Amino acid sequence: MSVREQYLETLGVDVWKARTDSRPPLAEPGVAMAAAVASAPAALVAPPAVAAIAADEVAWEALRAQVSTCTRCELSQTRTQTVFGVGNRRADLMVIGEAPGADEDRQGEPFVGRAGQLLNSMLRAIGYARPTLYIANVLKCRPPGNREPKPGEVACCLPYLQQQLDMIQPRLLVALGRVAAQNLLATDVPLARLRGQVHRFGARATPLIVTYHPAYLLRSPTEKRKSWVDLKFIRAELARARAGA
């Protein structure tokens, strides 16, 4: 039985055929792409393309360096390391969580551990392998004891996420959980009322869909059926966005 089928069986929903992502992945941190460009025959690489890729790489590394030494808020004093984000820098789909947890703080990558494994299964169920999308959090540093982010911390950190979004220019954002959704949308509307509709985020008015955080689904497995409804909505909206491009 495939991983997708196992997930669907867990959810207790009908199996359907998955689609595949049509955009080629550009894996974080982009070293592979830079190496590929560097080793390609000169006649095959147009100089403007090389320059654009090089500029893109410089911008990403500058932002990463800025985040890794950031002391804009008090979370810099308690983190093990910043958790910048990971994935395809040309992704159609960008997934945004709340903040790093203990595992993420230790490993420096968002959505690892059991919640990360469930997120991977959820995404695979609608045809998206983890490397094909970009994953980040509202906050780059772990709040002590996994407490909720303070408004001042979000205000300090959100510009980093906005810069990532500006560089990736995804077609669709998915906010995982109430805290991420409410902070991104600057609202206190409950998650249940934020699900099932397309919101807009940022200067580009990027479409944004809200669904459950996988850590919540691990605690509340009876909600998995609702998460499946959300996943199908995400799949349909992404297909619609691609068709309109």
Q: Which of 67, 94, 179, 231 binds ligand SF4 (CB under 6 A)?
A: 67
Residue 73 touches ligand SF4, criterion: CB under 6 A:
yes
Cβ atoms 92, 170 nearer than 8 A: yes
Residue 153 touches ligand SF4, criterion: CB under 6 A:
yes
Per the DSSP assignment, residues forming a β-bridge with 94 are 134, 173
Q: How far is the C-alpha of 229 from the C-alpha of 118, rounded, in Å?
A: 16
Cα→Cα distances 93→15, 87, 115, 122, Å: 23, 10, 19, 14
Q: How far is the C-alpha of 73 from the C-alpha of 85, rounded, in Å?
A: 18
Q: Which of 11, 75, 136, 234 binds ligand SF4 (CB under 6 A)?
A: 75
- Token look-up 């249940």 returns 192
Residue 64 touches ligand SF4, criterion: CB under 6 A:
no
Residue 66 touches ligand SF4, criterion: CB under 6 A:
no
Q: How far is the C-alpha of 172 from the C-alpha of 235, rounded, in Å?
A: 10
Site residues for ligand SF4, window 176-215 (CB under 6 A)?
A: none
Nearest residue (CB) to ligand SF4, 39 versus 71: 71
Site residues for ligand SF4, window 120-139 (CB under 6 A)?
A: 139
Stretch that binds ligand SF4, among 22-30, 69-77, 123-131, 173-181 (CB under 6 A): 69-77
Under the rule (CB under 6 A), what is the footprint of ligand SF4? 67, 70-73, 75-76, 82, 139-141, 153, 156-157
